[in-house]
């Protein structure tokens, strides 16, 4: 493995082992402006009351209470909250200085300011020429340390408007692209740092560059009233002669767009879609942080451009500081934002506690759940605890909250296989979205077979994933290409009875020309030469049997839930070289033996296939095709096209149709129309 690949491997390795303790959530009550302090009544009570850990005594957490809180709740929990009169210098020395120190020890960091409009985010992060903000203070220290250690410092400045990234150091440059390279590492293509280094020699030079660029964009902001997020990336690099690889660490400062409560906006008549877009980066960020805190294997970095840009600073042992800025006077958006953040804070706590208490059993449970094809894991069970409350609290706005996906248990179950293939480091299923549709949009037979093939390719990706986990040589190889598969094939040595099973799959001649079928053939090759672990062969058998059962008048077998949990060291099952036998049908359950049971099983598979193809259609059809569907007119079709620009596959389950304003009843009606049209 060359050095660059080794470095990439380390990045990917660190992506996997996140430490929940690395996320710190703090608050800051904005100081008063001159005008506010002049008009302030001496007798007026403070709106926000803070009880920091030292005052709390027994508690390690800070509690924030609001004077005008309508509901009697026990305050909002944060790690710490800085009061109105506390200066930014104090936040710097307590929160940022340690991050700068760690930056030079090889740890990335992200400082993200969020909160309502006018809550002091820009003032705290960027500051002004007279009163430098946290980023400027950090730069001062970074330059001094870089001089000491002989490292070079460069910066990138960007602005995110909706999902478009703009290079502030070179505003004429076309939109920046955020892409994965062949190793699954994020590349920000076109951003000044990536093209030309922008070295920083002095703090004045930096301050001029930073404040002037961001301020010029602020002027635009007033004109367009679009949500802008501003980001500063400070890169520290050094040439390691021995490794001949330029090592770089970075600290990010992000000033998020002002948070706007969706409920308030819908009451005021603002389109929920617009508000949703404004808050999208925040929701996506919180989802990522929740997933990292929960030690999830799949972290939804792809939900927004911001999380993609920050990906290598959020993952692993890197530090994240969420700074919640609060308005000193009543502000509904401040209340909503702290509510949102503190809920994540308690999630973080729940998950950290549960992870600490049962680290080993959790791992075992996760492994066995994967082997058994179930999605039960320690983190999932922990997630249930908060997922429920999240759903409850956001019930009214669930249509608008795209970021809710991570907390939606129903979706979690429905998208079990999809989640496997969506691991950030893995490639997605290779089926082109409109492949099946190009022939016949809702061909049941093809649809069903396609789903199974897709299941098969997802499964291949998971194997690659698990191989790279278990084999240190292959660690980080999660974004396997065909070449990577070939390497895996060579390294593996034994398998039993799988070639024939896979031959059966190819005999069915399902989409032999499609990329997904190629993926299956690769799997076959992989298993033939590979170190196929017994539970995997059991899974292949299951897929094969599913295919057979769909192509024959009478199903050969019906998979019983218990069967999946076959122990992996069962030699009787796996050590034979015979053709895999169709598992005997367990007739203890009358349900699966009766014609009714068999019919039910087949129809549920067909139903899933139709849904799958329908979603594929929505994710790939052109506007005119979309408009041909019941319930989709010009407006919805346009919105779907826009959604696709932000995310290539916005519809992952039927529930996602609620994002375009369809009710559950309408969705059901649409599906009835589709299924009814077949007969
Ligand atoms: N600690 C402080 N002391 C005095 N004035 C402050 C303080 N923090 C912020 N301000 C003032 O409050 C106003 C709003 O601050 P700022 O622009 O930083 O808010 P913001 O959250 O970035 O707003 P937006 O979401 O619109 O970008 C500014 O005029 C700023 O000078």
pLDDT in tens, 462-483: 444 444 444 433 333 333 333 4
Regarding the beta carbon of 126 and ligand 1, being less than 6 Å apart is answered: no
> Tokens 């050969």 correspond to what residue?
556
> Is residue 231 annotated as involved in ligand binding?
no
Q: Cα of 357 to ligand 1 centre, how many Å?
A: 42
> Tokens 């302030």 correspond to what residue?
40
The domain over range 3-256+306-328 is classified in CATH as 3.30.300.30: no
> Is residue 115 annotated as involved in ligand binding?
yes
Residue identifier of the C-alpha nearest atom 15 of ligand 1: 120
Q: Are 114 and 121 in contact (CB under 8 A)?
A: yes
- SS3 call for 157: strand
Ligand 1 atom closest to residue 115's alpha carbon, by position in its atom list:
21
- SS3 call for 31: coil
Average pLDDT of the segment spanning 112-116 = 92
Q: Cα of 88 to ligand 1 centre, how many Å?
A: 13
pLDDT of res. 52: 82
pLDDT in tens, 407-438: 333 344 344 434 333 333 333 333 333 333 33
Q: Which one, of 270, 249, 252, 251, lies nearest residue 261 by Cα?
A: 270
Q: At what angle do helices 482-491 and 444-470 cross, to 10 degrees?
A: 60
Instruction: Place 21 in a pLDDT band, splitting at 50, 70 and 90.
Output: low
pLDDT of res. 535: 52
Q: Are 400 and 272 in contact (CB under 8 A)?
A: yes
Q: Cα of 123 to ligand 1 centre, how many Å?
A: 5
Ligand 1 atom closest to residue 128's alpha carbon, by position in its atom list:
31
pLDDT of res. 550: 56
- Which residue among 123, 325, 329 has the greatest number of ligand 1 atoms within 8 angstroms of its CB, and so is best to mutate? 123
pLDDT of res. 14: 40
Q: How many residues does the chain have?
A: 679
> Is residue 621 annotated as involved in ligand binding?
no
- SS3 call for 622: coil
Q: Are 673 and 628 in contact (CB under 8 A)?
A: no
> Is residue 121 annotated as involved in ligand binding?
yes
Following DSSP, what letter does each residue of 62-77 receive, concatenated? Answer: EEEEETT-SS----EE
Reduce the secondary structure of 546-559 to three states and give it as a string: HHHHHHCCCCCCCC
> Is residue 120 annotated as involved in ligand binding?
yes
Residue 592 CA: distances (Å) to CA of 527, 542, 560, 588: 31, 16, 9, 9
Neighbours of 157 (CB within 10 A): 24
Residue intervals of the chain classified under CATH 3.40.850.10 are: 3-256+306-328
Residue 336 CA: distances (Å) to CA of 72, 179, 200: 15, 33, 39
pLDDT of res. 2: 45
pLDDT of res. 91: 95
> Tokens 């509690």 correspond to what residue?
63
- Report the DSSP pairing between strands 319-326 and 23-29: parallel
pLDDT at residue 35 above 60?
yes
- What is the reported pTM? 0.52
pLDDT in tens, 328-338: 888 888 888 88
Regarding the beta carbon of 33 and ligand 1, being less than 6 Å apart is answered: yes
Percent of the chain topping pLDDT 70? 49
Angle at CA of residue 462, ends 607 and 455, nearest 5°: 20
Regarding the beta carbon of 258 and ligand 1, being less than 6 Å apart is answered: yes
> Tokens 């059991």 correspond to what residue?
538
Average pLDDT of the segment spanning 596-609 = 80
Token pair for 136 = 């400027």
- Which residue among 33, 40, 222, 328 has the greatest number of ligand 1 atoms within 8 angstroms of its CB, and so is best to mutate? 33
Q: Cα of 333 to ligand 1 centre, how many Å?
A: 15
Q: Cα of 404 to ligand 1 centre, how many Å?
A: 30
- Listed range (36-40, 82-86, 284-288) with the worst mean pLDDT: 36-40
Q: Kindly tell me the number of DSSP H helices and DSSP E strands found in the chain.
A: 29, 13
Strands in 80-82's sheet, in edge-to-edge order, are 80-82, 23-29, 319-326, 109-115, 245-255, 228-240, 152-161, 164-167
- SS3 call for 396: helix
Residue identifier of the C-alpha nearest atom 5 of ligand 1: 33
């Amino acid at each position: 493995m060359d050095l660059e690949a080794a470095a990439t491997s380390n990045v990917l390795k660190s992506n996997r082992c996140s430490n929940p303790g690395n996320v710190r959530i703090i608050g800051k009550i904005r100081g008063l402006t001159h005008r506010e302090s002049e008009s302030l009544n001496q007798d007026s009570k403070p709106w926000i009351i803070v009880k920091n850990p030292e005052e709390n005594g027994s508690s390690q957490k800070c509690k924030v209470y609001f004077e005008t809180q309508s509901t009697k709740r026990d305050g909002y929990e944060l790690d710490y909250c800085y009061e109105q009169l506390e200066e930014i210098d104090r936040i710097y020395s307590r929160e940022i200085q340690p991050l700068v120190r760690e930056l030079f020890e090889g740890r990335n960091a992200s400082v993200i300011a969020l909160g309502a409009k006018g809550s002091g985010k820009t003032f705290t992060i960027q500051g002004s020429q007279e009163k430098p903000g946290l980023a400027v203070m950090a730069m001062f220290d970074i330059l001094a340390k870089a001089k000491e250690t002989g490292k070079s410092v460069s910066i990138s400045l960007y602005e995110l408007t909706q999902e478009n990234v703009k290079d502030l150091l070179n505003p004429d440059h076309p939109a920046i692209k955020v892409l994965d390279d062949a190793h699954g590492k994020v590349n920000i293509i076109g951003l000044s740092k990536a093209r030309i280094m922008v070295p920083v020699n002095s703090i004045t030079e930096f301050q001029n560059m930073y404040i002037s660029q961001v301020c010029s964009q602020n002027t635009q902001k007033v004109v367009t009233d679009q949500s802008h997020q501003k980001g500063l990336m400070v890169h520290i690099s050094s040439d390691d002669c021995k490794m001949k690889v330029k090592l770089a660490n970075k600290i990010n400062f992000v000033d998020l767009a002002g948070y706007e409560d969706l409920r308030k906006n819908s009451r005021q008549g603002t389109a929920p879609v617009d508000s949703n877009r404004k808050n999208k980066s925040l929701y996506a960020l919180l989802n990522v942080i929740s997933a990292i805190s929960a030690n999830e294997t799949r972290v939804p970095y792809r939900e927004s451009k911001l999380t993609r840009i920050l990906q290598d600073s959020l993952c692993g042992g890197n530090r994240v500081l969420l700074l919640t800025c609060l308005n000193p006077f009543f502000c509904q958006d401040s209340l909503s934002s702290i509510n949102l953040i503190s809920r994540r804070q308690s999630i973080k706590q729940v998950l950290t506690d549960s992870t600490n208490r049962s680290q080993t059993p959790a791992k075992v449970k996760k492994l066995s759940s994967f082997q058994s094809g179930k999605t039960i894991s320690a983190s999932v069970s922990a997630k249930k605890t908060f997922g429920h409350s999240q759903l409850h609290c956001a019930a009214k706005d669930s249509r608008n909250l795209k970021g809710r996906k991570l907390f939606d248990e129903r979706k979690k179950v429905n998208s079990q296989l999809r989640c496997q293939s969506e691991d950030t480091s893995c490639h997605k299923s290779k089926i082109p979205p409109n492949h099946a549709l190009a022939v016949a949009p809702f061909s049941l037979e093809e649809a069903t077979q396609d789903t199974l093939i897709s299941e098969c390719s997802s499964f291949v990706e998971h194997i690659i994933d698990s191989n790279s986990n278990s084999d240190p040589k292959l660690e980080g190889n999660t974004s396997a290409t065909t070449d990577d598969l070939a390497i895996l094939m060579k390294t593996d040595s034994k398998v039993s009875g799988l070639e024939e099973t896979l031959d059966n799959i190819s005999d069915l001649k399902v989409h032999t020309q499609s990329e997904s079928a190629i993926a299956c053939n690769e799997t076959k090759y992989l298993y033939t030469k590979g170190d196929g672990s017994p539970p995997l062969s059991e899974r292949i058998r299951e897929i094969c049997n599913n295919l057979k059962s769909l192509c024959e008048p009478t199903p050969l077998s019906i998979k019983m839930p218990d069967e999946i949990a076959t122990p992996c060291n069962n030699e009787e099952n796996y050590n034979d070289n015979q053709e895999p036998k169709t598992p005997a049908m367990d007739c203890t359950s009358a349900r699966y033996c009766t014609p009714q049971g068999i019919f039910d099983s087949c129809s549920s598979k067909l139903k899933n296939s139709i849904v799958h193809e329908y979603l594929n259609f929505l994710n790939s059809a052109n506007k005119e095709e979309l408009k041909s569907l019941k319930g989709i007119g010009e407006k919805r079709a346009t919105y779907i096209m826009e959604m696709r620009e932000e995310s290539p596959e916005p519809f992952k389950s039927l529930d996602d149709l609620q994002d375009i304003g369809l009710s559950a009843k309408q969705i059901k009606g649409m599906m009835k129309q589709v299924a009814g049209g077949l007969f």
